[in-house]
C-alpha cells in the first residue's frame, strides 16, 4: 500500500527505499490545509546542525579574517589608481594592439584589445579579464589542485606586479609575449619613465632572418603604421585573355605584408576581388623577405 498524505506528520520518520527521512517542519499552507482536513500536527522541531557544514563555515571565517588583515596592509592611497600600457604582440602580427591595465590596489591585470574595422578578429572588448597573473606562465590558476589551495599556499605564488612592466621591454602574460611601446601620462609620471632615455634600438637590417624578431621590428611597425604603397600591374601571360587583366598590389611598410587585388574589367560587370591574401612573400630562392627599398616593378 503506498503512502497517503494522511500518513505524513511532523516529528516522525519516513522510510523511502531503505532511507530514513525525519520530518521536522512544514510550510504555512501545508499546516493550514492538513488542519482543515482534521489532522492534528505535532510541534515542529529544529534541524540538527551538520558537523561538516560547521567545520566549513569555521574555515571560511578564518579566511575572511586573513583577508581583512591583508586589506589593512594594502595602501588605501592606491585605490582607484591604474597604470595603462600600450602593447602589441611580439610576433609577425604587429597589427594587433592592446591596452594593459595594472590595478595598483591589488596588482590585478586586465587586457583590452584595440579593434579596427575589418581587421579579421572578433570585436570582443576584453582580451583578458581582470585577475592576478602568475609569473610562471605554465602555472594554471584554475586547475583542480590549485582551486583547493588554502590562502597561505596561494600567497606563496609569485604574481606579476607593477614593477615588472618596463616601457620598451617585453613581458610574458600566459605564454603571450607583449611589447610595451607606450603608456599614458599618469603611468609615465608614476613610474618616472623618460621616453627619451629608452634603450637604443638597432636599425632595421635587410639581412634579418624571418624568425629574427627584435625590437627594431616593433619600432618599425609603430612608425609606419598607416603607410601603404600601392602599385598597378598587369599579368604577363601568353594567353590573350589574361593580358588585359589588371591588378592592384598593396605593400604595407609596417610589417612588409603584400596583398594583391584584381581590378574589374570594363564590360564584364564584376567588382574588385582579392587575388592574394595579405602575406609576407620571400624572394625566389632566398630567405629574405621583400622590403620597401628593394621592391620594384620593371
The model's pLDDT over 69-88, given as tens digits with 9 standing for 90+, comes to 455 555 567 778 889 999 98
Q: Where are the domains of the chain?
A: 1-48, 77-222, 225-279
Distance of CA 154 to the CA centre of its chain: 22
Summarize pLDDT for 191-241 with one digit per residue, the tens. 775 444 444 444 445 444 444 454 566 666 667 777 889 899 888 878 777
For residue 70, the model assigns a pLDDT of 52
Distance CA 129, CA 16 (A): 48
How many CB atoms sit inside 10 A of residue 188's CB?
16
CA 21-22-27 angle, to 5 degrees, is 110
Cα 5 to Cα 12, 18, 33: the distances in Å are 13, 20, 11
For residue 74, the model assigns a pLDDT of 54
SS3 state at 275: strand
1-48 has which CATH code?
A: 2.30.29.170
Nearest residue to 97 (alpha-carbon basis) of 79, 71, 75, 116? 116
Nearest residue to 264 (alpha-carbon basis) of 255, 276, 273, 275? 273
- Average pLDDT by consecutive 10-residue portion of the chain (298 residues)? 86 89 90 89 86 78 55 63 87 76 90 83 85 76 51 66 87 88 87 51 47 56 76 83 82 85 73 80 64 43
77-222 has which CATH code?
A: 2.30.29.170
Nearest residue to 259 (alpha-carbon basis) of 293, 283, 296, 231? 231
> Which positions ≥6 away from 269 have C-beta within 8 Å?
none
SS3 state at 191: helix
pTM: 0.45
Cα 235 to Cα 243, 245, 258, 275, 276: the distances in Å are 6, 6, 17, 12, 14
Q: Are 166 and 140 in contact (CB under 8 A)?
A: no
For residue 80, the model assigns a pLDDT of 81
C-alpha cell at 248: 592592384
For residue 57, the model assigns a pLDDT of 78
Amino acid at each position: 500500500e503506498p503512502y497517503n498524505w494522511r500518513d505524513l506528520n511532523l516529528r516522525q520518520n519516513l522510510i523511502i527505499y531503505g532511507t530514513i527521512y525525519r520530518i521536522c517542519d512544514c510550510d504555512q499552507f501545508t499546516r493550514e490545509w492538513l488542519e482543515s482536513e482534521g489532522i492534528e500536527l505535532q510541534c515542529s522541531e529544529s534541524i540538527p546542525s551538520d558537523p561538516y557544514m560547521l567545520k566549513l563555515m569555521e574555515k571560511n571565517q578564518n579566511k575572511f579574517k586573513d583577508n581583512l588583515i591583508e586589506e589593512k596592509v594594502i595602501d588605501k592611497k592606491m585605490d582607484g589608481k591604474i597604470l595603462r600600457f600600450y602593447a602589441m604582440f611580439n610576433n609577425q602580427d604587429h597589427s594587433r594592439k592592446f591596452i594593459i591595465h595594472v590595478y595598483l590596489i591589488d596588482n590585478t591585470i586586465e587586457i583590452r584589445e584595440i579593434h579596427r574595422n575589418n581587421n579579421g578578429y572578433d570585436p570582443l572588448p576584453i582580451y583578458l579579464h581582470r585577475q592576478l597573473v602568475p609569473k610562471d606562465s605554465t602555472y594554471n590558476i584554475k586547475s583542480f589542485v590549485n582551486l583547493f589551495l588554502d590562502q597561505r599556499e596561494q600567497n606563496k605564488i609569485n604574481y606579476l606586479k607593477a614593477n615588472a612592466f618596463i616601457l620598451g621591454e617585453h613581458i610574458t602574460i600566459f605564454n603571450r609575449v607583449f611589447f610595451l611601446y607606450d603608456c599614458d601620462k599618469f603611468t609615465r609620471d608614476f613610474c618616472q619613465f623618460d621616453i627619451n632615455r629608452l634603450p637604443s634600438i638597432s636599425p632595421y637590417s635587410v639581412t634579418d632572418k624571418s624568425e629574427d624578431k627584435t625590437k627594431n621590428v616593433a619600432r618599425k611597425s609603430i612608425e609606419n603604421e598607416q603607410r601603404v604603397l600601392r602599385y598597378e600591374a598587369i599579368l604577363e601571360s601568353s594567353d590573350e585573355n589574361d593580358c588585359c587583366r589588371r591588378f592592384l598590389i598593396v605593400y604595407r611598410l609596417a610589417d612588409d605584408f603584400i596583398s594583391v587585388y584584381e581590378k574589374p574589367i570594363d564590360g564584364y560587370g564584376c567588382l574588385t576581388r582579392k587575388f592574394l591574401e595579405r602575406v609576407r612573400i620571400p624572394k625566389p630562392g632566398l630567405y629574405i623577405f621583400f622590403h620597401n627599398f628593394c621592391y620594384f616593378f620593371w
